[in-house]
Structure 1
Amino acid sequence: MKILSLKREALNALRGNWGASVLLTLIVFAISGLVPLFFEVPLSGGYEAWLLQDTAPIGATLVSTLISLLLIPLSIASIWFFIDLLRGNGPKISDVFNPYRDLGLGLKIIGISIMQSIFLFLWFLLLFVPGVIKSIAYSQTFYLLKDHPEYSTFEAITESRKRMVGLKWKYFLLCLSFIGWGLLSIITFGIGLLWLMPYMSTTFSAFYDNHIADKKNELE
């Protein structure tokens, strides 16, 4: 499917759902940005000390890092929200907290994220381009995990790499197609991101549904 068609499918799915999508994006931004600070500022000696210090105390850094890890399932579940939206499943904002109700799933999401980060760090140590290529190859990992929660950490990552064979350039061009909208969001001091992120997430979901979800049969 052409990039324009993927975007059109995304916009059709968002029609009538922009309010919930923007609200979800705002909630995720707020939680991801404010919760780590809620712990880091007191551990840094207060707001004034936190503003003036060049480096945060190691205790504050460790706690902030731990909180950031615990928030990863929230970010992934928000992506899943837009897959369900695209598929017409009528998702609710409260669904993004499901990984915290299923401890096994939440830990698996965090584990996959950590392993992906390690792999990409090693690839980027080689050269920038191989790192970019591998990041694109791994891009479908969490989409696949949603449809196949039985996948192990390495199965989800490996399956993404296999199914992205022949599709990495198309995905790269799809990412590039949002640069203009990204610049407009910067001009609006980031407010435009509240609309851009749902648009991008739903479009990437359309990419997954049309090119990746049913590709296993073709590989076998």
Structure 2
Amino acid sequence: METRAEMKRTAKNRLRRHWMQGILLNLVPVILLVLLALLIGNSFRTSTYSWTDFGRYYATVQAEHHDWARMFINIIETFFLVGVSFTSLDWIRNADADIAPVKDSFQAFQGQYLGSVIFIYILKAIYLFLWSLLLIIPGIIKFYAYRQTYLVMKDAKASGQQMNTNACITRSRQLMRGHKMDLFMLDLSFIGWDILAICTAGIGYLWLNPYKQLTYAAFYNDLLTA
């Protein structure tokens, strides 16, 4: 399997001279999610809320006891994250891929993926909840075991394979067998960059998120041949 440095080098090579595409691909979902939270938050607002306070609205919807609103935003966020990961994988596999940031960020909303993303979201949530009941550590282990499920589903559909939700999760577990620590260490390797991005009031994430997404896509792609 490739080293973390090699995966990151691949991600950087894809982004070289194409940083704007990577930034927009990851930024469009953030803007749309903030606007969505703003709209939903407005339906619960009191006189202390301001339409201009985007951050407060997003935090309000997440923190208040409006479970349906939180769940709805989490599902939509998942769709965007999956769409970005799909595009990142295509980009890793084809350096000359034509990236359309706005269109590609909606990739997971397409009919062929729509139902599968929802079913995977629900089943993963159930499994992780049940494993977490056994203590935190088993839940974390399974979280890493299931990390590749959406990309497995994408490849299955691209190849015409008939894989149900549970089969996609099982395939992810198989791919991650012996590699969960590798992915955990890859996550840890970004901590310094995360701290730096936070210190820039989040502006650094404009560059960090594309870099991370492409690196994770490279990790999955390498798993297939490991």
TM-score category of the 2 structures, normalised to the smaller one: 0.7 to 0.9
Percent identity between the aligned chains?
33
Q: In the alignment, is residue 96 of structure 1 matched against residue 97 of structure 2?
A: no
Deviations for 1:174-216, whole angstroms, at most 9, x for unmatched residues?
Answer: 11100100100110011111111111110111111112x346x
Structure 1: distance between partners of 2:210 and 2:3: 20
Equivalent in the alignment of 1:113 = 121
The 3-state SS of whatever aligns with 2:133 is helix
Equivalent in the alignment of 1:200 = 212
Aligned length, in residue pairs: 210
TM-score (norm: length of structure 1): 0.86
TM-score (norm: length of structure 2): 0.84
Note the C-alpha offset of 1:33.
2.5
Note the C-alpha offset of 1:41.
1.6
Report if the CA contact (8 A) 2:29-2:105 is conserved: no
Structure 2: distance between partners of 1:47 and 1:134: 43
Report if the CA contact (8 A) 1:14-1:85 is conserved: no
Which residue identity does 1:139 align to in structure 2?
A: R
CA distance change for structure 1 residues 205 and 57 in 2, over 3 Å: closer, same or farther? closer
1:136 to 135, 144, 150: 144
Which residue identity does 2:38 align to in structure 1?
A: L
Note the C-alpha offset of 1:47.
5.9
Deviations for 1:65-85, whole angstroms, at most 9, x for unmatched residues?
Answer: 324324422220111111111
Equivalent in the alignment of 2:71 = 65
Equivalent in the alignment of 2:166 = 154
Structure 2, unmatched stretches of 5+, are 51-55
Root mean square deviation of aligned Cα: 2.4
Deviations for 1:69-124, whole angstroms, at most 9, x for unmatched residues?
Answer: 2442222011111111111232322122233331x521210210121112112212
Structure 2: distance between partners of 1:14 and 1:180: 20
Equivalent in the alignment of 1:22 = 23
Which residue identity does 1:74 align to in structure 2?
A: F
